[in-house]
Structure 1
Amino acid sequence: MKFFNAELTQPKICILRFAMESLLKSPDDLLEMFGPQDQIPNKSLPPTLVYSSTQNATLQVMKVINQAHGTPTGKFNPNSTLICRYHSCTRDLDKEDTVNGFKKKEFPMISCTMALGLGQNWKRVCRVFHMVRGDPSCICQMMGLCGRNSKPGLAVLFMEPKRRFGINKIEAVTKADKQMDDTRMDCLAITPMCLRIAFSMDNLYGYIPTNRDNPNYMKEEQQEINEGFPLCKCSNCAPKEAEMLQKKMSVMDIDNFVALLDQPESFPDPELVPKKKRCAGGHKNHTEAPKELTNELAVVLVVEFKTFLCEKYGTATLSLPEEHFAELEAEDVAETLNNIQGAEEIQDDIGGKTINGKLEMLYNCVVNFQKGSLFTTAQAA
Structure 2
Amino acid sequence: MEDFGAGNFPVILATMALGLGQNLKQVQCVIHMGRADPASIVQMVGRCGRNGKTGLGILFMEPTRKTGFNNLDDFKEGVVQTDDFRMDALAVTNLCLRVALTVDNKVGHIPLLETDPSYLAEKAQELSLNFPKCTCSNCMPSKANALLNIIRQVNINNFDLILDDPFSFPLESWNHTLMQRPKKKPTKATCMYSDAMAHDLKIHLFKRFEVFYNEMLGQEAEFKAAVFFGMDEAKVIVKSLDQVRNGDCVDITLLATLMGGQMFKGQIEFLVQAFSDWMDTKFYQLQLITEAAHNSFVLLECRCILDAAAAARERNKAATVAKNLAQREEREAEKEVEKAEKAKKKLRIQEEKARIAQEKAAGRQSKAAKNERIKEEKAKLKALAVEARRHKATIAEASKKSEREARLKAKEDARVLAADNLKKKKRAQADSIEAKKVAAQAKRVDCKRHQEDKQACNTLFMSQIQEHRAQLLHRMEDGE
TM-score, with length taken from structure 1 = 0.47
The structure where strand makes up a greater share of residues is 1
Which structure has more relative contact order (CA 8 Å, sep 6+)? It is: 1
- Name the structure where helix makes up a greater proportion of residues: 2
Look at both structures and tell me which one has the larger radius of gyration over its CA atoms: 2
The TM-score, its normalising length taken from structure 2, stands at 0.38
